[in-house]
Chain A
Amino acid sequence: MNESQRVLSTVLRPRADHDRREKIIRAVLLLFSAVSIFTTLGIIAVLLQETILFFREVSIVEFFTETRWTPLFASKKFGVLPLVNGTVLVAAGAMFIALPLGLLAAIYLSEYASDRARKLLKPALEVLAGVPTVVYGYFALTFVTPLLQKIWPQTQAFNALSASIVMGFMILPLVASLSEDAMSAVPQSLRQAAYALGATRLEVTLRTVVPAALSGISAAFILAISRAIGETMIVAIAAGQQPKLTLNPLQSIETMTAYIVQVSLGDTPQQSIAYKTIFAVGMLLFVMTLVMNLISNWMTRRYREVYE
């Protein structure tokens, strides 16, 4: 073997060797990405299995039409509506705070703030998202609820409103951050076009930037709703454990997540019907958030503006 052949044989490695390495790398990477899929499938399988067992004992009609939820009492009733009501009540209240404030914060950050203000404010806002939810829960119980009781003395010690308010502030950074991303992605050329037509900054924002970013903003909103439905710690601590069909936010209620926590932490024997309820409720919760996420995905694709 002369000099140039030796150089070639080391620089240009044989093809078979190369192919084998590629295959191994590919297989390892595939394995890692498959882990999350198998985990999800596993969770669905367990949920489904226990849910089916539950519905062997309780009719699906009763589950969705009965208005009392008392699986832990002597006279058992399995109407999930009070739990759904609690979840929707708290989530709706949280959205009432998080969506408008989050969008306004995003508008400020994306369209009005100077570079310096943005560099300071965005991380500060994201710190809010980093506070552990258990801290938010106790904040609701020990600070917000007494405040509410000063305004409305009939406010119960555990109530939906304080959980709503605090959850709203917890979700606000998510809405602000995702909406801001969507608005910043609107090309500068569109803003210039609007300014050149004599638009004010407010008109540029409301008539050009927000409409152009609408798909991203709606996706952020729906993700926020999904987050509120699934949020557990705040409601478990501050909203109470009384499944009730009520629209009065000053009363104690129970959300689906809080119920699951209550049963999981108690001494409910396995295989009992009370034990199986948490899978049925969990399944419903899973379906609700899944639908939200699918809508969010679909919206991002469906309404994505092609700018150029």
Chain B
Amino acid sequence: MLQNHEIALSVNNLNVYYGGFHALEDISLEIPARQITAIIGPSGCGKSTFLRCFNRMNDLVPSARVQGQVLFYGQNIYDPKINPVEVRRHIGMVFQKPNPFPKSIYENVAYGARINGYKGDMDELVERSLRAAALWDEVKDNLKKSALALSGGQQQRLCIARAIAVEPQVILMDEPASALDPIATLKIEELMQELKKDYTIVIVTHNMQQAARASDYTAMMMLSKEGSRAGTVIEYDRTDAIFTRPKDKRTEDYVTGRFG
């Protein structure tokens, strides 16, 4: 189904354990470049855990163990020679709850560039990133103001601008609109359509309508079998196919609201 696309990320036989707990079981799929891929599924099936495998955020959990491969344009990011810090500079992330730093709007956007030793024009980068996140017009006169004074929706777009400023290829979004009202949510979704021209986007969402509206591909996750607590991808296809003619009975039950 992905024959027409360049592949940005390729997951091969991925398993994740937290201590003795098997969290993700045997996931293999390919994420197309410059498309929006949604990950849906009931609570506790490992969607966020899966998303965090793409930028090695699971490394920060001391008990977490990842087996298998995640290839980023052909290079395994779990290769022992790879520095996870480097991975995160290419694969950015936006979190469920807006989490701007308690600094000015300007400093929030400049943060990633500063730690990466950005040599260019910082003002220009900040403006470009805020424009790309559709926030520039609202904050251009208040760049020195604390980011915490912004509304929730503005804060989340600031977090997107902050991620963009590092100039990653991929942006991971972990339920980016779940803490926002419908209007702010719509803005984020419109923004995603803009961003996919330049970035590969992987988004975890609880909101089925959002996945149907905003994504090109959808991966359906569920606990691998009755009684197990390990999550896995049970179906992966074009979004319209998942929502109109799912192949798996469990996907059909979930997307039609009969389950979950």
Question: Which residues of A come within 8 Å of B, CB atoms?
Answer: 114-115, 187, 189-190, 192-200, 203, 207-208, 211-212, 305-308
Contact = CB atoms under 8 A, between A and B. Distances in A.
A93 B162 CA distance: 43
B89 A189 contact: no
B243 interface: no
A193 B159 contact: yes
A114 B111 CA distance: 27
Contact of A192 (B57, B85, B115, B163): B57
29 contacts: A114-B62, A189-B99, A192-B60, A192-B95, A193-B100, A193-B159, A194-B111, A196-B55, A196-B57, A196-B163, A197-B88, A197-B89, A197-B92, A197-B111, A197-B162, A197-B163, A197-B166, A198-B85, A198-B86, A198-B88, A198-B112, A198-B115, A198-B116, A198-B166, A199-B115, A200-B115, A211-B103, A305-B102, A306-B102
A207 B101 CA distance: 10
B65 interface: no
B102 A207 contact: no
A212 B60 CA distance: 20
Given A190-B99, A194-B101, A198-B166, 16 more contacts: A115-B62, A190-B101, A190-B102, A192-B95, A193-B95, A193-B100, A195-B88, A196-B163, A197-B88, A197-B163, A199-B115, A207-B111, A211-B102, A211-B103, A306-B148, A308-B148
Dominant secondary structure of chain A at its interface with chain B:
helix
Given A198-B112, A198-B115, A198-B166, A193 B101 contact: yes
Contacts of A199: 85, 112, 115
Contacts of A187: 99
A22 to B, nearest CB: 40
A194 B99 CA distance: 10
Nearest to A208: B101
Nearest to B155: A308
Interface in B157-174: 159, 162-163, 166
B93 interface: yes
Contacts of B115: 197-200, 203, 207
B97 interface: yes
Nearest to B103: A211
**Residue among B101, B103, B162 with the most chain A CB within 10 A?**
B101
Interface in B161-194: 162-163, 166
B89 A198 contact: yes
Interface in B107-157: 111-112, 114-116, 148
